[in-house]
Structure 1
C-alpha cells in the first residue's frame, strides 16, 4: 500500500491509537509496523483473531501483558552460554509469570465451550513455574541476592556479619576510650572500603595505624587502627568470596534457563503476538467496531459507518455502497457538508479492515480487498515546487491513471477544481470516464453540475449527496445515494442577509437549462423527504397493528379459557343432576316395593308420589335452560351515562356503559373482558355492582360500590376437601383472582399424604393464564402451600 494514501487518510493516527492499547514493548513494535494486507486468507485470520479476543474480553475482562519484557538480547546470550545479570533474570522471570497468568486466563471452566482461533496459541505457552520460582527465591531485586540463594552464600554472609560486629566493637572502644581526645569526631567512617576513624592531624602519631585519606583542609586524617587491619582484610576477603558465590548462583540460574531456551523463546513470541491481538480487540471495543465481511469482487457496502477519528458521540453515521450496481460514485453538496469526511471514511475503513482491525460500522458491513488505495484529498499546493492547487492535484491524477487497475480504489476530492469551471468539469468527466471504462472503483466529490448530469446519464455511475438543511443553514452529514445534491448557494446567501435583488440578478446570469436542473433537484429532494416521512408513518402503523394483533390474541385465549371453564361447570352440574335423578329413581323403586310388601294405604302412596313429583320438578327446573324474557326497553340517551350498570336483555348478561350513544342509539357495553355495541332498546338499567375489574364502579343508582373482583382474597384454603371438591373451588377462585389482576395468590392444601397437592399441581399445569407455580419458602408454609403467579 502506497505511503501517500496512508498519510492522506491519516492511517498513522489509527496505528497510534492501537499502539496505546498494547502493554508490552514488543507488542507495541508489532502495532507500529502494522500495514494493510492484500491476501484474503491472512486478513480473515487476523479478523477472526480480533473477534475471538474481543469475545474473551467481554466474557472475562482484558489480559495485561505488561510483564512481557524485550529479552531477545538476553536469549541470544543464553544461546552462546553467557551468564545473565540479575536484571535480565528478573525480566525473564516476569515473562514466565505473565505467561502463567495468560495460561490461567485461557483456561475454560466448561470443557464443552466452543474453541476459538486463540486456543492454539495459549496451548503453546509453557509457564516454567519451577524456573520462575527459583529466580524469585534467589534474586530479591536487581541489587540484592537472597541469603538463602545458596548454602555457601549464607555462610559467607554470616561470617561477614560477625567480622563487622568485631570491627565496630573495637572501633567503638577507640571512640569512647582514652583516644577520644585525639579524634576530630566520635564517629566511625569508611575510606576505600575500609573502616576508619577521624583523627586530628596533630595527633596522628598517637593513634598507630594506616592513613587512608585526609580532609580537604588537612586538619583531619582518616586512620585505620592497627588492631582492626586484619579484621578489615578478612572482611575484604569475605566480600570477594561473596561476589564469587553470587556469580555461581547467577551462572546456575542462567544454565537452568538455557535448558528451557526453546520454550522461553516460544513464550516471548506467542505473548507478543497475543498482546498485538488483544490490542486490536481493545481498539474495537473502544470504537464499538464490528468485524467486516470481505469479498474480492470490489463490493463495498458500509452500514452506519463512522469515521474513527471523530468523537463517536458527535460523528454522524453514513450508509454507503460501491461496486455492486455501480462502480463510480459522484458526491455533491455544499461546502462543510461532509463530502470529504465521507470520502475519508471509505478509504480509512478499507485500510483498517485490510489490517485485521474491526471497523466502526454495523454488523455485516462489506469490504473488498484492494491491492492499492489512491487518495487525492485536500489542498496540496506547494510554493517551494511552484505548484498551484490544480497542478498538485493533476500530478496525483496522472500517477493514479498510470498505476491504478481493477484491484484499486481511487478517491478524488473536488476533482477538476482550481481552474476554469468549464474546462475543469470537462476534464473531470474525461478522467472519470476513463476510470469507469476500466472498471476501477472510484468515488469523487464535486461542485460541478455537469458531473451530476454525467452521473444521471451514464450506466454504472451513481449520484450521491450530503444532505443540507437550508432552514438552519446546517449540514446533517447524511449521505444520500441516488440523489444529486444542490450547492444551495442562493438559498444560503438569502438566509445570511444578501439582498433579494442581488440574488435575482445572479439567477439571471445562469442558463435556463441549469436553472431547470436545479429545480428538478429541489423537487427530488422534497419528494425524498415526503417518502421518508411516509415510510416512518407506515412503520409506526405496522408497530401499532402488531400491538393490536397481540392484544386480540390474548383476548381470544382468555375467551377460550372461559369457554372451557363454562363447559366444564356445565358438565359437572349435569352429572350432579343425573346423579340426584338416579337417587330419586332408586328411592321411588324402594317405596313402591315397600308399598307392595307392607300394603301401604292409597293416601300414603299418593303422598309419597306427590313428594317425588315435587323433587322431579325441581330437578327439571335445574336442567332447563333459563331463557330470559325479552322486555321492551324504553331507555333514551338522556337516561344513561358512562359507567352505568345495565343488563343486555338479548344476552341476559350484565355490563357497564363505556361510550355515549350515537345517532342510531347504539352504545358500547363492557361485559367482563368483552366489549360489544348494543342498541338502547336492548338495555335495562340495574342497581347492582358490575364484576369486571378491580376498581370502584358507579351503578345506575349513582351509588359507589366495590366490585366482587376487587375484594378477592390473596389466599384460598383447601384443607379437609377432596381433590374434586378442591379443584372445583380452586377453579372459580383462580378465575376471579386473574380477573382482579392479582399478580400471585397462595393456595393452602396442607402436606398430608400429598394427594391434594399433586391434584392441585396437575390442574395448574393445564391453565394457560398461569405463568408459574411453586411451593412456598421455609417459614411461609413450606410444602403445604403453593404460590401461583399469573401472566400479565
Structure 2
C-alpha cells in the first residue's frame, strides 16, 4: 500500500532527515537501511494507524524475548527479475543472496506459526506476513548443493561428481609423471628445485634458464628474476590437454546447474519479491520498535475531527536533542502542550535560550514522526492528522538570492499563508523580528490573526509585547511562557501554557555584570507601560514559581502520607493475621479436648448395649458440634477482619449483669447454648455444653436464654429426674465397601468405620477394597497395621474375597 504523502512539509527545517539517520542505526541490513531511508510522513490515516500498530506489536514481540536476524539481507529485486529471463544464469553469489532471503522468510513464517507468549495479539503483523509462501520445498532443492565458500558441492549433479573425480585422477597422473621427470633433471642438475606448479591450468616444472634447451617441452613463462623458466615437458602435454578438456567440461556443467537453479528461482519470483517486501517492512518495524524501546516512546493516538481535544502532549522530548545530551549525562527537560477545539493558537514568549525554538521544533518533528508511523518520545501523545506541516524557523538570509533575513521570512510566510488550511500545522519562530520593532510587532499580530482565522493549528514564538497582549485579549489564543532561572541565569526549558513570558533582557544583562550606568539608562528608556508590564510579568512568574514549589511540597507530603498509611495498614493486617492464627490454635486445642472428654465418657460406660447407643449418639453430636463451632468461628473471624461486625449490636455487646447457677446461656465463642454449673469468681463461670465443661468469662456470655424455673428439663433434673437422649440405632455394620475410592477418601472412611466398630465393642470387621492394581489394598493394609485399635490384619480365603478384601481384628 502506497501512502498518500503530505501536501507540504517543512521536513528539512524540522530535521526529519537527521531523525531518519538516527532510525537507520537500528537497522541490521542494507535492505532495512534502504527501507528506513524511504520512510516519509503521510496524510493517510489508515496507513499511519497501521504503521503505529505494527511498531507496537513488534515492540511487544521484542519484550517477550523475541529476536530475528536480518543481517546480510539486500535488495534482490534485480536478481529475481534477472532469473525470470529464459536461459539466464545467475552467479553463485547472487543465488546465495536470494537463498538467504528465502531462508529468512521461512524462519519468520515458522515464528508466525508458533509465536512467543505476548500480552497482546499481533493482528497487524499477521496481516502483513500471512501471504508469505512456504519455501521449504524450494530450499530443499538447494540443500547440500552449495558450499560455505560459495562454490558448488560435488553432489550438485551426478555429472559434476563424475567430472571432478576424473579431474582429480588426471591431476594425480600428471603429478606422478612430472615427479619422475623432476628427479631425473635434478640428478642432471637441470631442475631449479623439485617443485611442480601450475600455469594457466597446465602443470609445469621450474628449470634453470640456462638449461632450458636441455628440456624438450613448451615454456609457459619465467620468474620475476629471470633465472627460472616454467616448462611443460612433451611427455605431459597430452595429459595436460586432457585435464584442460575436463576443466572445460566442469565449467560447462556448472553453467548448466546455475541455469537450472536460476530457472527454479524464476519460477518462485513472485513469492520471492513478496517475501522481500515483507522482510523490508519487518526490519523497518524492528528498527522503530527498538528506537521506541530505547527512547521510552508511546504509540500515538490520532484524534478524530470534532472532538474536544485537538492536541495533547505530555512529557514530550526532542529525540535528536536527547541523543546529543545522553553522552554528557544530561536529561532532556520534557515539554507539555495542550490545545482544544476552542484554543487553536499558542503564543510562546520568554527570554532568549529559554527553549522557545526547541518547543516549536519538538512539536513539528514529533508530528512528522507520528505521521511516518513511528512512536514518539513522550508519556502521552494525541494528535490530529495534518495534511501539511509548515515551519518558519532559523536564519534564512541568502546573499546569492539577495535576500535579507527579514525578506526571507516574509517570503516563506507568504508561501505558508497561500498554502495552509484548517488541517495544517503552522510553526513560526520569532515572528516580527529582524525589522523595526513597532512595525514588526504590528505585522506579527496581523500574521498571527490571519492564521487564527483560517482555523489551522499554529504555535508562534515572539518577544513582542503586542503579541502577548493579542493572545490575552483574543478568543481562541493562549499565552505560553518558557522558564528562566534569574538566579542561575539558566533556562529551565519548561513550557507553561496560560501565562505570557518575560523577556528579562535588562535583568539578565544586570546579573551578567553589565555597567550599572547603562542598566539604569536602559530602564529610563522604557515607557511606563513597558515597565509596568515587565514588573507584572516578573511578579507573575515569581508567584508561579512559588506556587509550583508549594505544589511539589504538597505532593511530597501526600506521597509520604500514602506510604505511612500503607505501612500502618500492612502492620495492622499482620497483627490481625497473628491474632487469627492464635485463635485458630486455641480452637483446635479446644476441639481436641472436647473430643477426648466425650470419648472418655463413652468408653467409661460398662453396659455393651448402652455403649453402642451412646457411642453413635456421641459421634453424631461431636461431628455436629465441630461443624457448627467451626462455622461460627470462621464467621466471627471473617466479620471482624473485614469490619462487617461494625454496627452489629452483638459484635461488642454490653456485659450480661445477672448470671446465676442453673441459667441457660448462649456463648459468643461457640454460638451455642450451655448451662451454668458453678460460679468460679465475680466474672468467671463453669459452663456445661453437652458432655463438655469449660471455664467461661462473663464477656463471652451473649445472653441468658432461660432461668431454671422456666426450663422443664432443668426443673425435672432439680427434682432428681434423669433426662437423656438415646439413639434408636442399636447396630453397627461389620463390613465397609470402599471400591472405586482414591486412597485419601478410602482412608478417611476406614478411620471413621474403625472408631465406630471399636466403640461398639466389635472383635472383627471386614473391609472390601477390590483387587485392581493393588494400590488401594497396599495403602489400606499399611495404614491398618499401624492403627491403635487394630491387633491384626488378615487376608480372607479366596471364597470370602481373597486379595479383594481385608479382615481386621480389633483390640478388646
Q: Same fold by TM (over 0.5)?
A: yes
Give the Å deviation of 1:288: 1.4
Q: Is the 8 A contact 1:96 1:127 kept in 2?
A: no
Where 2:203 maps in the other structure, the secondary structure is strand
State the distance in 2 between where 1:76 and 1:208 align: 54
1:140 maps to 147
| 1:173 and 2:189 matched | no
1:625, CA displacement in angstroms?
Answer: 1.0
Task: Tell me if 1:624 matches 2:682.
Answer: yes
CA shift digits 1:321-364 (9 cap, x unpaired): 2343411111111111111000100000000000001100003x
Q: Does residue 59 of the first structure (1) align with residue 64 of the second (2)?
A: yes
Instruction: Measure, in 2, the Cα distance between the counterparts of 1:288 and 1:99.
Output: 30
Aligned to 2:287: 279
**Paired residue secondary structure (1:329):** strand
Q: Give the alignment partner of residue 74 of structure 1, picking from 76, 79, 87.
A: 79
CA gap 1:548/1:284 in 2 versus in 1, 3 angstroms: closer
Q: CA deviation at 1:624?
A: 3.4
| Cα distance between partner residues in 2 of 1:254 and 1:210 | 41
Deviation at 1:200, TM superposition (A): 4.7
Deviation at 1:294?
0.7
| Structure-to-structure mapping, 1:1-16, within 5 angstroms | 1=6, 5-16=10-21
Q: 1:9-28 counterparts in 2 under 5 A?
A: 9-28=14-33
**Alignment map for 1:222-241 (pairs within 5 Å):** 222-241=230-249
Aligned equivalent of 2:273, options 265, 274, 281: 265
Q: 2:368 — aligned with what?
A: 351
Asked if the contact 2:84–2:263 (Cα under 8 Å) also holds between the matched residues in 1, the reply is no
* Distance across 1 between alignment mates of 2:584 and 2:218: 123
* Alpha carbons 2:482, 2:496 under 8 Å: kept: yes
Q: How many residue pairs are counted as aligned between the two chains?
A: 601
* Structure 1 partner of 2:337: 320
Question: Counterparts of 1:309 and 1:482 in 2: how far apart (Å)?
Answer: 28
Aligned to 2:346: 329
- Of 498-507 and 33-42, the range deviating more from structure 2: 498-507
Q: State the SS of the aligned residue for 2:395.
A: coil
SS at structure 2 position matched to 1:155: helix
Asked whether 1:456 is paired with 2:461, we answer: no
Tell me whether 1:543 sits opposite 2:559 in the alignment. yes
The 10-residue stretch of structure 1 (380-389 or 504-513) with the greater mean CA deviation from structure 2: 504-513
Give CA-to-partner distance per residue, 1:299-320, whole Å, 9 cap, x none.
Answer: 1110000011112542110111
1:653-680 residue CA offsets vs partner (Å, 9 max, x unmatched):
xxxxxxxxxxxxxxxxxxxxxxxxxxxx
> Does 2:135 match 1:128?
yes
CA-based RMSD = 3.7
2:482 and 2:494 in contact (8 A); partners too: yes
Q: Is the 8 A contact 1:86 1:141 kept in 2?
A: no
Structure 1 residue runs of 5 or longer lacking an equivalent are: 588-611, 628-651, 653-721, 723-750, 754-792
Contact 2:64-2:118 at 8 Å conserved across structures: no
Structure 1 range deviating more: 75-84 or 531-540: 531-540
Per-residue CA distance 1:430-451 (angstroms, 9 max, x = gap)? 1111111121211111111111
Q: Secondary structure, in 3 states, of the residue corresponding to 1:476?
A: strand
Q: Supply the distance in 1 between the matched residues of 2:143 and 2:286 (Cα, whole angstroms).
A: 28
- Shift of residue 172, structure 1, vs aligned partner: 1.4
Alignment partners' CA distance in 2, 1:565 and 1:206: 116
State the secondary structure of the residue aligned to 1:118. Answer: helix
Q: Take 2:479 and 2:227, find their aligned partners in 1: how far apart are those partners? A: 96
Q: Is the 8 A contact 1:63 1:105 kept in 2?
A: no
2:42–2:371 Cα contact (<8 Å) kept: yes
The answer for the alignment partner of 2:201 in structure 1 is: 193
Rounded to whole Å, the distance in 1 between the matches of 2:115 and 2:172 is 57
The residue matched to 1:383 in structure 2 has which SS? coil
User: Displacement of 1:391 after TM fit?
Assistant: 1.1
Partners of 1:267 and 1:305 lie apart in 2 by 36
Over 3 Å counting, the alpha-carbon distance change for 1:234 and 1:489 in structure 2 is same
Cα separation, 1, equivalents of 2:517 and 2:202: 102
Distance 2:584 2:193 in 1: 116
TM-score computed with the length of structure 1 as normaliser: 0.69
C-alpha distance 450-752 of structure 1, shift in aligned 2 (>3 A):
farther
The equivalent position to 2:536 in structure 1, one of 511, 520, 523, is 520
**Match among 96, 99, 108 for residue 93 of structure 1:** 99
Alignment check: 8 A CA contact 2:425 2:457 kept = yes
